[in-house]
Structure 1
């Protein structure tokens, strides 16, 4: 009879320790006239997030890059990005954050830029998604 009681005791705390945050999404383009865009969503966990979406370039001579930067308060925790060449659409799915960092990160900054010969140009203002109790959808167009 004691063997039956032990699983019930352990099952309670495991279920109670799970914290769920609503998913967030974005849909943003480069600045001035849309030369490219990125759209997707963030699935939050306690210390990281999975980003899934795509970056699209509308053609021409340059590529489009989406930049992701994870912050805990004002401290940068992680950063990554994806690039679509001229006329390409590049899907992505990857994790961002530091799973070993206590508390993880609470803000994700996203920016989309045209990549010129000298680097990023015609960048959108950065938008922010937050790990909190509110599901956010951020859209930016010039």
Structure 2
């Protein structure tokens, strides 16, 4: 009868004494743009804060003219009364009449209310 083979001995782990010197903390890592984007809700922008450029019929020159009058978001346009809109339209020079013809107030009010489906049903896809 042969004796059972002995289990192999594991080498003893020798722990090194702790060093009393302070260790510098690792620098905090900056969040990646992907992590920041996923942390923000998908609709971080309120509907009324969307740029005026979403309105159909607005090109760069009209956008600039409207900005000169403080209109830069769909909320700014949607907040205009009919009288304010007519006064603004009169100041658009060669573009006078476009506000009514392209129905900017109606477009802006739908977008500012967050009614994208209503906007697209009337004015086409964004």
Tell me which interval the TM-score lies in, with the shorter structure as reference length: under 0.3
Larger relative helix fraction: 2
Larger relative strand fraction: 1
Task: Give the TM-score, by structure 2 length.
Answer: 0.26
Larger-Rg structure: 2
